[in-house]
Chains A and B, each alone.
Chain A
Amino acid sequence: MTPGLLVKNAFVIDPLSGIRGEIMDIAIVNGRIVEETPPGAEVIDAAGCLTLPGGIDSHSHVCGTKVNFGRYMSPEDMRAGRTARKGVMRVTSGYSVPTTFGNSYRYCTMGYTTVLEGAMAPLEARHTHEEFTATPHQDMLANTLFDGNWSVMEAVREKDDKRAAAIVAWTLEAVRGFAIKLTNPGGTEAWGWGEDVNSIHDPVQNFEVTPAEIIGTMIRANEILNLPHSVHLHCNNLGVPGNYRTTLDTIDLVPDLNRERQSLYLTHVQFHSYGGSTWRDISSRSEDIARAVNARPQVVMDMGQIMFGRTTTMTADGPMEFKLYLLHHNKWSNHDVELETGSGIIPVYYGRKSLVNCVMWSIGLELALLTKNPWQCLLSTDSPNGAPFVKYPEIIALLMSRKLRENERKMIDRRTEHYVPLFSIDRELDWYEIAVMTRAGQAKALGITHIGKGHLAPGAEADIAIYPIRPDQVDPSVDYQQVMAAFSRTRYTIKRGRVVARDGEVVVEGANSTIWSRVKVPEEYDMGNDPEFTKKFEQYYTVRMRNYPVQDVYLPRGLRIDTEASL
């Protein structure tokens, strides 16, 4: 294991430990933070620089079938982001969909040490895990897709929460998944026939269940299983003008079932906050959404901010991606996964001259500024859908500086301010709130604080980011260039007690862990013995049940979170 390390003179903000900006020393032994400095420890002088727990991304598309589709079909994106070998760093390619090492190095030099892959289809989980191993500087977690899962929908139809829970338990263990992900629930199955669902009460053809029922059952099943994270939901009607109503209807469904964390995590909510009824009169309804979330501690969301420029959209929401194809006629890929879910990929360009895009850009920022509690609105771009994650520092700067937002206002479509409230919002987030929205909040929402993520108290994993900026000397509302530069490149990124990056360069080879959830269920709920469940493999899947699960060899350093179901 690694010898001791001492980080001196760190300006620490550690929200989970209640530290809001104190100069302290951090002692590390064997990859964990400890009380006492070990003798002979190597010393790093943080020189009063902002020191935070390692960044945690709670929703990013970096590994798996559809991400690789995005790379494969975009040689022009690959050539736009190429880097050569340097020291231990391998060749990378890709601008909006970097190669796995590209992702890992870029996250690493930004101080990120844990990333949740936004969507993994169980049938193709092996692919995600292979790419996890090739993203070596971040501990990885996989959101496991259940939105179009036949066995689940049948259990929902039977109103059998326990059965649904048992199916989830079996599947998460089989594919080494972390949490329940629902993307356009019901819609991805409808897309198997080229259809979609239009509201949360729209029944899914051939299965006679509604999205509301699927969401309700899965939220309850999630709590039965005592999973660390809540259900992670990409609402129905993403991108549709007027869809804020669907989002509000969905929020209304959410019970408060858990004391430690939210009962529902709503992802990339910017894409779900549109008023108006067509592209011509689309407007921001961020105020309605923020009001609903402010009143409900059982809901946490992430922004889904878009940034201007070109990027690639990729989600499990097949029908939505097809709609983008009809709109923009760009190259479009689709990949439906039997009995489980779907996906679509299409490159996009968000332009300052497009009123619609300007409204979208405003909404993401509004959601963050209008949500009172920073723990309830986390920073994300649904990377790369809204923008590649390398744009996070710019977003931080925008949230901290009204002046910067004003500068942007001058460059975007002049009509925007008539459709959005952004420019009348004075609030500027502070360092503490940013620390919550980029790591502490994620750790809490994902339920991984108890394994030592997201904080710097003794016992925590020594994942630390030291940013080259002195909060006592910089006014973020004015010095936004400095803020952007600082968050783009750490002075040091420390992972499990090892310095992994220094001033923009990755200095060692990585050895990450994959974090997954295993729920203990009573024998009678073991789906491995259930005839209805196994029949799916005998008759409808094209892979045998024996060959379906992800073998241990794919997780060389798996980190399993054990829980027990209340069944």
Chain B
Amino acid sequence: MKIEDVVCSFCGCLCDDLVVEVEGTRVVNVENGCTLANEKFMGDHRLEAPIRRHKEGWEKVSYERAIEETAGILLDADRPLLYGWSGTYGEAQTIGVHLAEVLGGVIDNTSTVCHGPSIMAIQEVGHPGCTLGQVKNRADVVVYWGANPIDAHPRHMSRYTTYCDGFFVKNAFRERKVVVVDVRETESSQVADEFVKVNPGGDYAVLSALRAIVRGKGGIIPQYVEGVSREQLFRVAEMCKAAKFGAFFFGVGLTMAPGKYKNIRNAIELTQELNRHTKFTISPMRGHWNVYGSNEVFTWLTGYPYAIDFARGIAFYNPGETTSVDILRRGECDACLIVASDPGAHFPRACAEHLAHIPTVQIDPHVNVTTHLSQIQIPVAVAGIDSEGTAYRMDGVPIRTRKLFQGSYPDDLEILEKIYAIVKEAKG
């Protein structure tokens, strides 16, 4: 059976034009998707049943037993951590927040290792952005900074920027100029009209220099700034000022560079400065398909987009203190529930070691690195394949993922609601 307008639940592009062929409970073909989509839909190898540690190995357990034990683990803890969330949809994320609140624990999502710095920068200077269709229809200058879309967001350029015609840009390939800024050449820089190579850690200085030039104070800029020549700096600044509509996109190359959120802040302030001359926007290249969704849900419920600590009965937010990597590294939490994410694969070693020492439960369809650190794993349906819910694209546009077939796995929403019910009852 062919299903059209399917939403891909892999990266922040949240493409919704996939055509998928389903046979029974398997996806056998994907059209319009990139290689990441193909892998997501067709390379789907699931854990069959809930498992828990037993002596040196694992034993299968019932969903009921796994749910009860999980609730028990969370209730016993003095400082439970609920992490992940970016790989599931909003309705489930909502229960996560309610659960953390009732437990007096910490809830955090994958922003913590990805665009957390972008959020921190936005909290300092704001976010002059737009939806992706604005870029598609109007932009004549696009700058990718610290991002390699061809690799990490394969259809970004064809759906939204370089190769994508729009209402005002009838021939994007010719009319749209693309600049790539990075510490080394990448596939994306190969197709750019201008490549700016910056010394590692030098982005902040380059952004400050560009701001000064746009302000008209270019006279103070030396011959080279962190590997970039004065000429190139002036050329790029002019290109931006002369644009009818410019769009910055930045990735973890910038968020993870030394200075982290200060780099993003500088890029945002450059965008704001450019707005005095022409139209310019800036957008983060969010990695997970629904990490922005977890930010949105956490924010409207608690006031904060990630790293929220309910230990004191109110919502407290302080990245560096209430963020998962810091909490795990310091050995501060005594139980952890991981939903729709794989911190075992992404977090520093010290964090993984701590996860292995405390009772850790994972709710996830697939066996992954975190499985080996967990005490219990509960497999669930895959959002976008056999369960549906709300996702937020990297630009904030909400799209509902589709349910392609009725599988035999429960939704993670169902599992979380059951855990929540037990915890709420116990807490009175």
Q: Which residues of A contact B (CB under 8 A)?
A: 63, 65, 68-69, 71-75, 78-79, 82-85, 90-94, 98-102, 123-124, 126-127, 130-131, 134, 150, 192-194, 206, 322, 325-326, 330-339, 345-346, 539-544, 546-547, 551
CB-CB < 8 A to B397: which residues of A? 123-124, 542-543
Q: With A206-B168, A540-B137 given, is the CB distance from A193 to B244 under 8 Å? A: yes
Q: How far is the CA of A192 from the CA of B245 in the complex (A)?
A: 8
Evaluate contact between B131 and A78: CB separation under 8 angstroms: no
Q: With A130-B90, A542-B136, A542-B159 given, is the CB distance from A123 to B310 under 8 Å? A: no
Q: How far is the CA of A85 from the CA of B132 in the complex (A)?
A: 39
List B128-177 residues whose CB lies under 8 Å from chain A.
Answer: 128-134, 136-138, 159-160, 166-168
Please list 19 pairs of residues, one from A and one from B, whose beta carbons are closer than 8 Å in the complex, sorted by A's number.
Answer: A68-B300, A71-B303, A82-B315, A90-B101, A90-B301, A91-B315, A93-B315, A99-B301, A130-B300, A130-B390, A332-B272, A334-B126, A334-B128, A335-B129, A338-B133, A345-B126, A540-B133, A540-B166, A541-B133
Shortest Cβ distance from residue A455 to the other chain B in the assembled complex, whole angstroms: 32
CB-CB < 8 A to A123: which residues of B? 131, 397
Q: How far is the CA of A98 from the CA of B12 in the complex (A)?
A: 28
Evaluate contact between B101 and A333: CB separation under 8 angstroms: no
Q: How far is the CA of A539 from the CA of B127 in the complex (A)?
A: 27
CB-CB < 8 A to A543: which residues of B? 16, 133, 397, 399
> Does B396 sit at the interface, judged by CB under 8 A?
yes
Q: How far is the CA of A72 from the CA of B293 in the complex (A)?
A: 12
Q: How far is the CA of A72 from the CA of B111 in the complex (A)?
A: 13
Task: Mark each residue of chain B from 184 to 225: 1 if its CB lies under 8 Å from any CB of chain A, else 0.
Answer: 000000000000000000000000000000000000000000
Evaluate contact between B281 and A334: CB separation under 8 angstroms: yes
Evaluate contact between B5 and A547: CB separation under 8 angstroms: yes
> Does B119 sit at the interface, judged by CB under 8 A?
yes
> Does B299 sit at the interface, judged by CB under 8 A?
yes
Closest 3 CB pairs of A and B: A338-B133, A93-B303, A78-B303
Evaluate contact between A326 and B276: CB separation under 8 angstroms: yes
List B89-130 residues whose CB lies under 8 Å from chain A.
Answer: 90, 94, 98, 101-102, 119, 122-130
Q: Which residues of B contact A (CB under 8 A)?
A: 4-5, 7, 16-17, 90, 94, 98, 101-102, 119, 122-134, 136-138, 159-160, 166-168, 244-245, 272, 275-276, 278-279, 281, 295-297, 299-305, 310, 313-317, 390, 392, 396-400
Shortest Cβ distance from residue B406 to the other chain A in the assembled complex, whole angstroms: 16
Evaluate contact between B16 and A338: CB separation under 8 angstroms: no
Shortest Cβ distance from residue A46 to the other chain B in the assembled complex, whole angstroms: 33
Evaluate contact between B126 and A78: CB separation under 8 angstroms: no
Partner of A547, one of B168, B313, B400: B400
Nearest B-chain residue to A322, judged by Cβ:
B275
CB-CB < 8 A to B305: which residues of A? 72
Evaluate contact between A65 and B396: CB separation under 8 angstroms: yes
Shortest Cβ distance from residue A242 to the other chain B in the assembled complex, whole angstroms: 23
Q: How far is the CA of A99 from the CA of B137 in the complex (A)?
A: 34
CB-CB < 8 A to B16: which residues of A? 543-544, 547
Partner of A331, one of B124, B133, B138, B275: B124
Evaluate contact between B131 and A91: CB separation under 8 angstroms: no
Q: With A192-B138, A547-B16 given, is the CB distance from A131 to B300 under 8 Å? A: yes
Q: How far is the CA of A335 from the CA of B128 in the complex (A)?
A: 6
CB-CB < 8 A to B123: which residues of A? 72-75, 331
CB-CB < 8 A to B160: which residues of A? 542
Nearest A-chain residue to B398, judged by Cβ:
A126
Nearest A-chain residue to B167, judged by Cβ:
A540
Partner of A68, one of B136, B272, B299, B314: B299
Q: How far is the CA of A331 from the CA of B101 in the complex (A)?
A: 30
CB-CB < 8 A to A131: which residues of B? 300
Evaluate contact between A78 and B398: CB separation under 8 angstroms: no
CB-CB < 8 A to B310: which residues of A? 91
Q: With A93-B314, A192-B134 given, is the CB distance from A99 to B303 under 8 Å? A: yes
Nearest A-chain residue to B101, judged by Cβ:
A91
Nearest B-chain residue to A539, judged by Cβ:
B167
Evaluate contact between A336 and B130: CB separation under 8 angstroms: yes
Evaluate contact between B281 and A544: CB separation under 8 angstroms: no
Q: With A84-B313, A91-B315, A126-B390 given, is the CB distance from A100 to B128 under 8 Å? A: no
CB-CB < 8 A to A547: which residues of B? 5, 7, 16, 399-400
Nearest B-chain residue to A77, judged by Cβ:
B303
CB-CB < 8 A to A75: which residues of B? 123, 303-304, 317
Evaluate contact between B300 and A339: CB separation under 8 angstroms: no
Q: How far is the CA of A448 from the CA of B48 in the complex (A)?
A: 53
Q: How far is the CA of A276 from the CA of B209 in the complex (A)?
A: 40
Q: How far is the CA of A83 from the CA of B302 in the complex (A)?
A: 10
Evaluate contact between B392 and A127: CB separation under 8 angstroms: yes
CB-CB < 8 A to B90: which residues of A? 130
Evaluate contact between A544 and B314: CB separation under 8 angstroms: no
Q: How far is the CA of A333 from the CA of B128 in the complex (A)?
A: 5
Evaluate contact between A334 and B101: CB separation under 8 angstroms: no
Evaluate contact between A333 and B122: CB separation under 8 angstroms: yes
Q: How far is the CA of A19 from the CA of B134 in the complex (A)?
A: 52
Evaluate contact between A85 and B101: CB separation under 8 angstroms: yes
Partner of A71, one of B7, B168, B300: B300
Given contacts A72-B123, A193-B279, 15 further A-B contacts (CB under 8 A): A75-B304, A82-B315, A94-B303, A98-B303, A99-B300, A99-B303, A127-B398, A192-B134, A330-B126, A333-B122, A540-B136, A540-B137, A541-B133, A542-B133, A542-B136
Q: How far is the CA of A533 from the CA of B133 in the complex (A)?
A: 16
Partner of A194, one of B101, B124, B275: B275
Q: How far is the CA of A69 from the CA of B123 in the complex (A)?
A: 10
Partner of A336, one of B167, B281, B297, B316: B281
Shortest Cβ distance from residue B89 to the other chain A in the assembled complex, whole angstroms: 11
Evaluate contact between A72 and B134: CB separation under 8 angstroms: no
Shortest Cβ distance from residue B81 to the other chain A in the assembled complex, whole angstroms: 17
Evaluate contact between B295 and A72: CB separation under 8 angstroms: yes
CB-CB < 8 A to B313: which residues of A? 84-85, 91
Q: How far is the CA of A101 from the CA of B137 in the complex (A)?
A: 37
